[in-house]
């Protein structure tokens, strides 16, 4: 077994920040990782039509850049997101797998992204974090759990009963694993179990890559959540509602 696979398995079972969901009702969150500019330019209007605010996980090193043909956000996008009531969250600065980094490197990267985000957060700090590539270890879970109210991974499950706020589960909306029937079933279970259901993608485009969603896919998820009467909140608000 590779070290990366061992860390993935161990991180799911080594609870670091246990909490009980006490809201007594289901809650949903919509999140975007990295984030490509299309998550805002194409995804933003879809969210606005549904009256939904989302969480945008931001890696400072991507600001204003095009990497391997993918256009990322810029400073104007971050200001516009804030003005629209969306959450700007942390996704590291350099977007490296955290289990590969020393404690010194984790500290330096976290400080650098916090400084980068400060002007867009009114001088404050991000409350939410997502692991780059969804890769975590017990060591890095402890590191980020001490710095954020909630930390998200990519394990495809609901968050129900007692949860680990250092590695919350999330369901993909990406084209590479899109399954409309499975998403509908997950939303039904979330309503029944009073769970916190978190969705994630990267970009939003009519010509999506495998890690992106189309506007129609995003709209379908939002519509199904509305039909189920599940309130959709950014991560920083959802965690406060979910655990009281």
Both structure tokens of 113 = 């992204």
pLDDT at 23: 95
Helix (H, G, I), strand (E, B) or coil at 1: coil
Both structure tokens of 99 = 């289990």
pLDDT at 244: 77
Nearest alpha-carbon partner for 34 in 86, 64, 72, 76: 72
DSSP for 75-117, written as a single string: HHHHHHHHHTTPEEEE--SS---GGGS-HHHHHHHHHHHHHHH
CA dist 211 → 145, 146, 152, 197, 204 (Å): 26, 29, 17, 19, 9
- Spell out the domain ranges in the chain: 3-243
Nearest alpha-carbon partner for 58 in 235, 183, 196: 235
Domain 3-243 class? alpha beta
Over the chain (244 residues), what is each successive 10-residue block's mean pLDDT? 58 85 97 97 98 98 94 97 97 96 97 97 96 96 98 97 97 97 98 98 97 98 98 98 91
61: left (phi over 0), alpha (psi -120 to 50) or beta: alpha
pLDDT at 3: 57
């Amino acid at each position: 077994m590779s070290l990366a696979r061992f860390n993935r398995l161990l991180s799911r079972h080594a609870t670091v920040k246990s909490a009980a969901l006490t809201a007594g009702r289901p809650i949903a969150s919509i999140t975007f990782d990295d984030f490509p500019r299309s998550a805002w330019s194409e995804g933003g209007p879809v969210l606005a039509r549904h009256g939904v605010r989302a969480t945008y996980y931001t890696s400072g090193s991507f600001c204003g850049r095009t990497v391997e043909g993918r256009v990322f956000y810029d400073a104007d996008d971050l200001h516009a997101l804030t003005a629209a009531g969306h959450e700007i969250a942390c996704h590291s600065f350099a977007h490296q797998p955290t289990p590969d980094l020393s404690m010194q490197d984790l500290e330096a990267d976290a400080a650098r992204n916090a400084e980068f985000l400060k002007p867009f957060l009114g001088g404050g700090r991000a409350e939410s974090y997502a692991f780059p590539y969804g890769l975590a270890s017990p060591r890095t879970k402890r590191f980020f759990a001490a710095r954020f109210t909630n930390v998200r991974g990519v394990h495809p499950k609901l968050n129900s009963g007692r949860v680990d706020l250092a590695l919350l589960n999330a369901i993909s909306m990406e084209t590479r694993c899109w399954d409309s029937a499975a998403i509908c079933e997950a939303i039904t279970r979330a309503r029944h179990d009073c769970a916190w259901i978190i969705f994630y993608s990267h970009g939003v485009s009519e010509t999506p890559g495998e890690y992106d969603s189309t506007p129609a896919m995003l709209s379908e998820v939002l519509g199904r959540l509305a039909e189920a009467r599940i309130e959709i909140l950014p991560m920083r608000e959802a965690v406060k509602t979910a655990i009281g």
